[in-house]
Amino acid sequence: MSTTTARDSGALSTGNGILLVAEREIGSKLRSKAFLISTGILLLIALAGVLIGGFMSKNTSETKIAVTAETAQAVHGLPGLKAIEAADATAAEKLVRDGSVEAALIPAPGDAAFGFEIVALKDAPSGLQGLFAKTPKVTILEPDTTNPLLRYLVAIGFGVVFLMAASTFGATMAQSVVEEKSTRVVELLLAAIPARVLLAGKVLGNTVLAMAQILALAAIAVVGLIVTGQNAVLEGLGSPLVWFAVFFLFGFVLLASLFAAAAALVSRQEDIGSTTMPITMLVMAPYILVIIFNDNPLVMTILSYIPFSAPVAMPVRLFVGEAQWWEPLVSLVILLAACVAAILVAAKIYENSLLRMGARVKLSEALKG
């Protein structure tokens, strides 16, 4: 009877230990004015960015449009348009191709309802069709899967959120680990709970905070898009946002485990940078590479299967419609496998280094124990 009770209490103490450490991590962050202020500023910046982008897309600057003698009268007096007359339909199309105008209005004899058609290079200027009493036909000369500027902005958005959340929470967790080592608080903690339980609690607590921040940013983005009437963008972001949250969850657990393990190798705050720098580079790489190669399908495909860049690259590819339905599932399986491997290695390093004070622990020694 006593053996069973001891076993049950041990199991409970493990779960309770993880929850207690997680609550301690969350509580310390929520009591920090610096954390609350920085989070508030981040949310305000995100909201401002969405609102400014939406209002800029609705600016009232004149749209240059090529017309012919037959179509000039159709745009006469319409607000926001600057008509540039061309000799004929071919000349008007040439102006569109060389970028002199954003679109052209040319005769369309086969269109009995309107008689004209809009010709654009990648996509028709926003709101142009709505200026006419009847909706004209639109011909795109060089169809594109999505707006290049929108693609770039989405890549920046996912990249910045991943970079800031992962690096901020990863760095603060590393500082917490070193602070507990240097003040010998860790010795008291390890007298009550195992090192692996302490690591699991720290990762869990910071993951909850990071995911809460991600969800808050997603809510801010949705509200901003609704307010500015960007319903088309909102519809396109629905599925990618969900996938980004899922990928971020496991990607952050992977990085958080590595940050904690790297911090356990040193005993002074000044030495944190030397051990966490490689992990910081792994956080920065997705942001830099996805921004640079956001319009390169081959590079983006490769990045969407690498665990450290998949949380950013795969949602971007889903947004622009370049990923098949099964690709995020395969990428997620790879990320999960990498996450499990990272946790096992990080737990070993953390457990074998946490009570070693003084000089920096060599990675080979931490792995051997």
pLDDT per residue, tens digit, the chain (369 aa), is 444 443 444 444 688 889 999 999 999 889 988 888 888 888 888 888 777 766 665 554 677 888 888 888 877 767 777 888 888 888 888 888 888 888 888 887 766 566 788 888 766 665 666 666 566 777 777 665 566 777 888 888 888 888 888 888 988 889 989 998 888 888 888 888 899 999 999 999 999 999 999 889 888 888 877 877 776 667 778 889 899 999 999 999 999 999 999 999 998 888 898 899 989 888 888 888 988 998 888 999 999 999 999 999 999 999 888 889 999 999 999 999 999 999 999 999 999 998 888 788 888 888 886
8 A C-beta contact, residue 255 and residue 339: no
| Bridge pairing between strands 81-85 and 116-120 | unpaired
CB neighbours of 93 closer than 8 A, spacing ≥ 6?
66, 104, 106, 119, 141
Buried b (16+ CB within 10 A) or exposed e, 263-295: bbbbbeeeebeebbeebbebbbbbbebbbebbe
4: left (phi over 0), alpha (psi -120 to 50) or beta: alpha
The pLDDT tens digits of the residues spanning 9-34 come to: 444 468 888 999 999 999 988 998 88
**Packing angle between helix 310-320 and helix 148-182, nearest 10 degrees?**
160
- Amino acid 182: pLDDT: 87
pTM here is: 0.75
Instruction: Tell me 116's DSSP state.
Output: E
pLDDT for residue 111? 61
With 0-12 / 13-18 / 19 or more C-beta atoms within 10 angstroms meaning exposed / middle / buried, residue 133 is: exposed
**Which pLDDT value is given to residue 12?**
42
Contact between residue 354 and residue 262 where contact means Cβ atoms under 8 Å apart? no
For residue 3, the model assigns a pLDDT of 42
Query: Are the C-beta atoms of residues 249 and 286 closer than 8 Å to each other?
Result: no
Q: At what angle do helices 272-292 and 310-320 cross, to 10 degrees?
A: 10
Q: In angstroms, how far is the first alpha carbon of the chain from the final one?
A: 36
User: Which one, of 158, 177, 174, 179, lies nearest residue 286 by Cα?
Assistant: 158
Separation CA 144–CA 316 (nearest Å): 16
H/E/C letters for each residue in 187-200?
Answer: HHHHHHCCHHHHHH
The first and second tokens of residue 183, run together, are 């003040």
